[in-house]
């Protein structure tokens, strides 16, 4: 099944498409936004790379589309941006709407193995096996062999996790204030425990601080920005990017976690948008666009 184009909005000489489609993986209707830069519409242009951007807890595809401000840079370099949703919605699983940090809006980009979540909460397979192939099929001038990944908070964890597990699929990875060590913080423990059960070996299959030891890809830096005034970082210890820097030692990515602590920034889209230009330049280099 293809996409329904719910809206097509001109933005920075390109177009932001608000799409929906029936997912056979999550068994729900899924929303996704896709930004096609001006180059996509130019005669005879070559295939364009894709930046997959994963949003944080509670977000829909619209938040980042409106506030993160990738579009001008995507349009400058010539790559598309894909903004998936953060979970299935309307799966009607009992309890899915009870808290903001679990269930709806908090799919954690993994495949749940525990009941009652395992039927619908399968964002990992949804992204890799359904959404990206469908994007490639429906938008033939996008190059699904040249995909980079980025995300914020829960989506920053998602970007790190997906990249570390799939260096054959993703070119380069960056993150804003990622949940870098989910096994070791409340948000991650709640989601891993409910979605995956109590077996820590299963948690390790999704934790960037574990996955980094077995990374099989090229030795490229991973760019991470973290604001020092982010309460989820400094007060609540939900993010812990230093744990990833530490885990990288004696891993194939030793010294390659480029963690930039930026003074005074919080966890909001005001923080993300302030550094989006840097992340786009970083990815453009690995996409072969700079």
Run of H or E residues at 280: helix 269-287
Contact 127, 26 (CB under 8 A): no
Two tokens, residue 218: 């090229």
**Of 192-251, which residues contact a second copy (CB under 8 A)?**
227, 229
Q: Does 12 bind a second copy (CB under 8 A)?
A: yes
**Of 62-121, which residues contact a second copy (CB under 8 A)?**
66-67, 69, 71-72
CA distances from 282 to 57, 81, 125, 194, 273 (A): 25, 15, 27, 35, 15
10 Å CB burial of residue 11 (0-12, 13-18, 19+) is middle
Q: What is the DSSP letter of 169?
A: T
Q: Does 10 bind a second copy (CB under 8 A)?
A: yes
Coil, helix or strand at residue 147: strand
Q: Does 278 bind a second copy (CB under 8 A)?
A: no
Stretch that binds a second copy, among 61-69, 105-113, 216-224, 252-260 (CB under 8 A): 61-69
Two tokens, residue 86: 């953060």
CA distances from 26 to 124, 159, 168 (A): 10, 20, 24
**Of 14-33, which residues contact a second copy (CB under 8 A)?**
16
Residue 6 beta carbon to a second copy: minimum distance, rounded to whole angstroms:
14
C-alpha span between 31 and 44 (Å, rounded): 30
Q: Does 273 bind a second copy (CB under 8 A)?
A: yes
For the annotated catalytic residues, the residue numbers are 153, 230, 267
C-alpha span between 159 and 227 (Å, rounded): 18
CA distances from 281 to 99, 116, 118, 148, 223 (A): 36, 42, 38, 12, 11
C-alpha span between 253 and 29 (Å, rounded): 38
* Shorter beta-carbon distance to a second copy: residue 61 or 208: 61
Residue from 141, 184, 274, 278 touching a second copy (CB under 8 A): that is 274
Q: Does 42 bind a second copy (CB under 8 A)?
A: no
* Shorter beta-carbon distance to a second copy: residue 83 or 102: 83
* Shorter beta-carbon distance to a second copy: residue 122 or 279: 279
Q: Does 271 bind a second copy (CB under 8 A)?
A: yes
Stretch that binds a second copy, among 5-13, 21-29, 88-96, 142-150 (CB under 8 A): 5-13
Residue from 186, 260, 270, 290 touching a second copy (CB under 8 A): that is 270
Q: Does 56 bind a second copy (CB under 8 A)?
A: no
* Shorter beta-carbon distance to a second copy: residue 71 or 153: 71
Stretch that binds a second copy, among 140-148, 151-159, 249-257, 270-278 (CB under 8 A): 270-278
Q: Kindly list the residues in this chain that would bind a second copy in the complex (CB under 8 A).
A: 9-13, 16, 66-67, 69, 71-72, 227, 229, 264-266, 268-271, 273-274
């Amino acid at each position: 099944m293809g996409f329904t184009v719910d809206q097509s909005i001109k933005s920075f000489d390109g177009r932001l498409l608000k799409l929906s489609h029936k997912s056979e993986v999550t068994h729900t209707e899924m929303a996704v936004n896709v930004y096609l830069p001006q180059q996509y519409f130019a005669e005879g242009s070559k295939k364009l790379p894709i930046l997959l951007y994963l949003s944080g807890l509670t977000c829909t595809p619209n938040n980042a589309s409106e506030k993160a401000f990738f579009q001008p840079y995507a349009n400058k370099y010539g790559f598309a941006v894909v903004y998936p949703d953060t979970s299935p919605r309307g799966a009607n699983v009992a309890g899915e709407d009870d808290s903001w940090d679990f269930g709806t809006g908090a799919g954690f980009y993994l495949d749940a193995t525990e009941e009652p979540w395992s039927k619908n909460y399968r964002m990992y397979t949804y992204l890799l096996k359904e959404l990206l192939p469908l994007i490639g099929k429906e938008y033939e001038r996008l190059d699904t062999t040249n995909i980079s990944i980025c995300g914020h908070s829960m989506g920053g964890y998602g970007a790190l996790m997906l990249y570390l597990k799939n260096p054959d699929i993703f070119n380069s990875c960056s993150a804003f204030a990622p949940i870098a060590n989910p096994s070791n913080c409340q948000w991650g423990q709640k989601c891993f425990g409910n979605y995956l059960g109590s077996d820590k070996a299963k948690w390790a299959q999704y934790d960037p601080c574990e996955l980094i030891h077995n990374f099989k890809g090229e030795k490229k830096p991973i760019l991470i920005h973290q604001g020092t005034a982010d309460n989820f970082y400094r007060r609540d210890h939900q993010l812990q990017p230093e744990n990833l820097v530490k885990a990288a030692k004696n891993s194939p990515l030793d010294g390659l976690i480029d963690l930039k602590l930026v003074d005074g920034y919080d966890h909001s889209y005001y923080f993300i948008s302030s550094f989006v230009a840097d992340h786009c330049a970083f990815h453009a280099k690995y996409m072969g666009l700079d």
